Amino acid sequence: FLSLSLQAKMSRPLQARRLEGTDKNIWVEFVKLAATYSKVNLGQGFPDFPPPDFLKESFVRALSGENHMLHQYTRAFGHPPLVKILAQFFGKLLGRDLDPMTNVMVTVGAYQALFCCFQALVDEGDEVIIIEPFFDCYEPMVKMAGGTPVFVPLRPKAPKDGKLMSSADWQLDPTELASKFSERTKAIVLNSPNNPLGKVFSREELELIADLCVKHDVLCISDEVYEWLVYDGKEHIRIASLRGMWDRTIIIGSAGKTFSATGWKVGWTVGPNRLLQHLRTMHQNSVYHCATIAQEAVAQGFQRELELYGTPDSYFVQLPKELQQKRDWLVQSLDAVGMKPIIPEGTYFLVADISKFKSDVPDVPDSDEPYDSRFAKWMVKNKGLAAIPLSAFYSVAHKNNYSHFIRFCFAKEEATLKAANDILQKWKQEKTSP
Ligand code: PMP
pLDDT over threshold 80, residue 363 = no
Tell me, what amino acid is at 22? T
On whether residue 4 sits in a domain, the answer given is: no
pLDDT tens figures, 104-119 = 999 999 999 999 999 9
Q: How far is the CA of 109 from the centre of ligand 1 (A)?
A: 7
262 CA closest ligand 1 atom index: 14
Q: Which domain holds residue 84?
A: 53-308
pLDDT exceeds cutoff 70 at 7: no
Percent residues over pLDDT 70 in the chain: 97
H or E segment to which residue 109 belongs: helix 109-121
Instruction: List the Cα angle 39/44/46 in 5-degree steps.
Output: 100
Q: Identify whether residues 109 and 222 lie together within a single domain.
A: yes
- End of a domain among 308, 330, 349? 308
Residue 352 covered by a domain: yes
Q: Is the pLDDT of residue 251 over 80?
A: yes
Angle at 259 between CA 165 and CA 255, to 5 degrees: 100
Q: Which residues pair with 151 in a beta bridge?
A: 130
CA dihedral 158, 161, 165, 170 (to 10 degrees): -40
Rounded distance, CA 431 to CA 55, Å?
A: 45
Mean pLDDT, residues 131-137 taken together: 97
**CATH number of the domain within which 290 lies:** 3.40.640.10
Q: Which of 291, 308, 325 is the last residue of a domain?
A: 308
Three-state secondary-structure class, residue 255: helix
Q: Are residues 193 and 291 in the same domain?
A: yes
Q: Determine if ligand 1 sits within 6 Å of the CB of residue 227.
A: no
Whether the link from the prior residue into 193 is cis, omega within 30° of 0, is yes
- Give me the DSSP letters along 270-291: E--HHHHHHHHHHHHTTT----
How many domains does the structure of the chain reveal? 2
What pLDDT is recorded for position 343? 98
Say whether both 424 and 320 belong to one domain: yes
CA atoms of 202 and 206, how far apart (whole Å) = 6
Domain end position, chosen among 255, 281, 308 = 308
Mean pLDDT of the chain: 95
- Compute the average pLDDT of residues 363-380: 89
CB 292 within 8 A of CB 74: yes
Tell me, yes or no, whether 358 lies in a domain.
Answer: yes
* Position with higher pLDDT, 332 vs 6: 332
Distances (CA, A) of 187 to 120, 183, 420: 12, 11, 40
Rounded to the nearest angstrom, the distance between the alpha carbon of 226 and the centre of ligand 1 is 9
pLDDT tens by residue, 324-338: 999 999 999 999 999
Decide: 195 in ligand 1 pocket, CB within 6 A.
yes
pLDDT score recorded for residue 4 = 56
Mean pLDDT (whole number) for 303-311: 98
Q: Are residues 197 and 321 both part of a single domain?
A: no
321 in the same domain as 271: no
258 lines ligand 1 (CB under 6 A): no
Least confident among 34-43, 73-82, 160-169: 160-169
The confidence band for 9, taking pLDDT boundaries of 50, 70 and 90, is low
Kind and range of the H or E run holding 268: strand 266-270
Both 46 and 58 in one domain: the answer is: no
Q: How far is the CA of 46 from the centre of ligand 1 (A)?
A: 10
Looking at the predicted structure, is the pLDDT value of residue 351 above 70? Answer: yes
**pLDDT tens digits, 14-38:** 889 888 888 778 888 899 999 999 9
Q: For residue 346, is it within any domain? A: yes
Backbone angles phi, psi at 394, to 5 degrees: -125, 155
Mean of pLDDT values over 120-147: 97
Task: Please report how the helices 371-383 and 26-37 are oriented relative to each other, as an axis angle in degrees rounded to 10.
Answer: 20
Distance between CA 379 and CA 391 in Å, rounded? 16
224 lines ligand 1 (CB under 6 A): no
Which ligand 1 atom is nearest residue 254's CA? 15
pLDDT at position 114, please?
98
| 89 lies in the same domain as 140 | yes
Q: What mean pLDDT comes out for the span 158-175?
A: 92
With cut-offs at 50, 70 and 90, classify the pLDDT of residue 11.
Answer: confident
In 136-243, at which residue ranges do the beta strands (DSSP E only) sit?
A: 148-153, 155-156, 170-171, 185-191, 219-223
How many C-beta atoms lie closer than 10 Å to residue 239's C-beta?
24
3-state helix, strand, coil in the chain (%, to 5): 50, 15, 35
Instruction: Answer for the pair 206, 177: CB distance below 8 angstroms, yes or no.
Output: no
Q: For position 362, what pLDDT does the model report?
A: 78
**Residue type at position 255:** A
Q: Has residue 309 got a pLDDT over 70? A: yes
**H runs (alpha helix) in 122-202:** 138-144, 174-180
Q: What φ, ψ does residue 19 adopt, rounded to 5°? A: -90, -10
The whole-number pLDDT of residue 137 equals: 95
Q: Is 222 helix (H, G, I), strand (E, B) or coil?
A: strand
Q: Which residues are bridge partners to 109 per DSSP?
A: none
61 plus 120 within the same structural domain: yes
- From residue 431, alpha-carbon distances to 42, 91, 318, 358, 424 in Å are 22, 54, 39, 11, 11
